[in-house]
Structure 1
Amino acid sequence: MVDWLIGLEGTDAGRQVAVGLALLAALAHAFFGALQKGRFDPWLMRGAIDIFYFLMALPFALFVVPWPEPHMWPIFAGVFVIHTLYKFLQAAAYTRGAYTVVYPVVRGTGPLFAVIGSGLVFGEHFTAGQWTGVAVLCSGIFGLALYNYRHVTVARDTLVPALGMAVLTGAFVAIYTTYDAYGIRATADPFTFLAWFFVVDGMVMPFVVARRMARLPSSDLVPLLKKGFLGALVAYVSFGAIMLATRVGHVGEAAVLRETSTVFAAAIGWLVLGESTGPRRVALMTMIAAGAVIVKLAG
């Protein structure tokens, strides 16, 4: 498996595999976001998810994958800092603003910055046609956020600072996308990076929410932990797929294609959560999908 993945790097076949992985990451990320909606606040939900993906990843990191090379430990330290800041910003944004407004802003800001970052770090450059696709995709995402903003009726008094945090969170999405791509390319075995990534990334939030979680009655704690376990499994697919995509394909393309998660999230909201979807939202989601297609075809 490892040799097959490494053999795909820098090839046309690798780019095709990266497209599939990025779209898989988008679908998984939409489910991941939907799991964080509901009666539990974002801090508790994130803590429950991290507990499980730390515990499940640890034996793989210690006993299954090859041990990381010495130069990888400073990289993992960077992963720890960047992802911890991202989680704090994301939870703060979700706490202060409506999910349907905040989520598209985060996801719309991320790919724009990621494309710029991939050019600076990896020397990847988009064509004029691909930049057109990015513009179409981001316009659809921000348009969806604006549409939801105009119709939201809860937490409007804190929505402006929530949007500011959402933009900053989007910047950290780009930072961690670029940094994780650098990290997974820096080791011989990509699964070594993935296993230790989930160990390192799952260390903080359980301690942050431990006291709050301990005060929950069992009638709340058990459902929270069940959702946390499911969320950890989805997170493995979401983060694992996008990082493998950046190993075998282009970072910027993978980052843009992943943001079709906004379309999947709206579809999940409609089909599973019973949220209404009018013609304007359908048109905006079509723009997002069209932008992703343009990026792929113009590459």
Structure 2
Amino acid sequence: MTEWIISIEGTEAGHTAALILALMAAFLHAVFGALQKGRHDPWLTRGAIDGCYCVMAAPFALFVVPWPEPHMWAIFAGAFVIHLAYKLLQAMAYSRGAYTVVYPVVRGTGPLFTVIGAYLIFGEVFNGVQWLGVGVLMAGIFGLAVYNMIFLVSERDTLNAALALAVLTGIFVALYTTYDAYGIRATADPFTFLAWFFMIDGLVFPFLALRRWRAMEHRPAPAPLLRRGVLGGIVAFLSFGAVMLATRLDKVGEAAVLRETSTVFAALIGWLVLKETVGPRRIALMTLIAIGAVIVEFGG
């Protein structure tokens, strides 16, 4: 698998594979967000997920993939700090605002700053048509957030804090997307980066979640949390792993924009699973997001 991934980097086959991986990541990322915002406290769910994917990744990191090169340890340290800050901000935002408001703002802020970061770090340039696509996609995402904010939000007293945290979280989405793309390109074997990333990334939140669980007056049963953690860990491997591979195979900015079609999937999950209302206006905004992604992909 490693040899095949390396052989198609920068080729038309690599571009096609990156497109498929980014869209797969979009769907799975929406599932991941719904898992964290679902029936349990988001801090507890995130702790269970992180703990599970840390344990699942450890055997691969330690015994299967090639050992990281010496220069990778500093890169892993940076990824650890960035992702920890991102997860703290995301959990705080989910604790204060509705999923259908917070998630679109987070995902809408991310692609703009990722495209800028990809230009500064990797020299990637979007043409005018692609920037139009970014604008259309972001208009749809933020329009969806505004609509949800007006008609669907119940947490009115914490809405401003939730939105501010969502924007800040989106900035960290752009930061980790760009940084992870740099990291996965800095090692000879991309699966070395993925295995060690997931093992290191899952070290802190389980302890934060355990501390929060112990402080609760009415503690949820551990078994359902662990089941959600195992499922979330598998989804995380497939989602984050897919988009990181996509950024190695092709342009970081395009992969980031395509992943933000996750907002469409998130709205569908909110409707089908979380039983949130979806009307013609929201369908139109979701269509706008999809059109923006198509413009970016085919305008390049």
Q: Shorter-chain TM-score: which interval?
A: over 0.9
Q: Give the TM-score taking structure 1 as reference length.
A: 0.97
| Counterparts of 2:164 and 2:214, CA distance in 1 | 32
Where does 1:56-67 land on structure 2 (aligned, <5 Å)?
56-67=56-67
**What is the match of residue 252 of structure 1?**
253
Give the direction of change, closer, same or farther, for the CA distance of 1:59–1:214 in structure 2 (3 Å limit). Answer: farther
Alignment length, in residue pairs?
A: 299
1:221 corresponds to which letter in structure 2? P
Shift of 1:219: 5.9
Separation in 1 of the partners of 2:149 and 2:215?
A: 34
User: Match of 1:90, SS?
Assistant: helix
Residue 275 of structure 1, CA deviation:
2.4
Change in CA separation of 1:153 and 1:172 when aligned onto 2, cut-off 3 Å: closer
Shift of 1:61: 0.2
Aligned 8 A contact 1:213 1:221 in 2: no
TM-score, normalised on structure 2?
0.97
Structure 1 segments unaligned to the other structure (5+ residues): none
Deviations 1:141-181 (CA, angstroms, capped at 9, x unpaired):
00000000001342111111111111110000000000000
Show the counterpart of 2:140.
140
Q: Please, what is the CA RMSD of the aligned residues?
A: 1.3
1:282 aligns with 2:283: yes
Structure 2: tracts of 5 or more residues without a match: none
Preserved contact between residue 137 and residue 292 of structure 2 (Cα < 8 Å)? yes
Judged with a 3 Å threshold, the aligned counterparts in structure 2 of structure 1 residues 274 and 98 are, in CA distance, closer, same or farther, namely: closer
CA distance in 1, matches of 2:178, 2:160: 28
Mapped contact 1:101–1:145 kept (Cα < 8 A): yes
Residues 184-263 of structure 1 mapped to structure 2, 5 A cutoff: 184-214=184-214, 220-263=221-264
What is the letter of the counterpart of residue 157 of structure 2?
Answer: D
In the TM superposition, what is the alpha-carbon distance from 1:39 to its structure 2 partner? 2.8
Compare 181-190 and 266-275 and name the one that shifted more.
266-275
Looking at structure 2, the residues matched to 88 and 284 of structure 1 have their Cα atoms a distance apart, in angstroms, of 29
Spell out the pairing of 1:115-126 with structure 2 (5 A cutoff). 115-126=115-126
Q: Determine what percentage of the aligned residue pairs are the same residue.
A: 69
* CA distance in 2: counterparts of 1:6 and 1:124, whole angstroms: 20
Distance in 1 of aligned mates of 2:220 and 2:132: 50
AA matched with 1:59: P
Q: State the one-letter code of the partner of 1:192.
A: T
Counterpart AA for 1:53: Y
The structural deviation recorded for 1:99 is 1.4
Q: Which runs of structure 2 are paired with 1:47-126 in the superposition (5 Å)?
A: 47-126=47-126
Describe the shift of the 1:3–1:270 C-alpha distance in structure 2 as closer, same or farther (beyond 3 A): same
Deviation at 1:214? 4.4
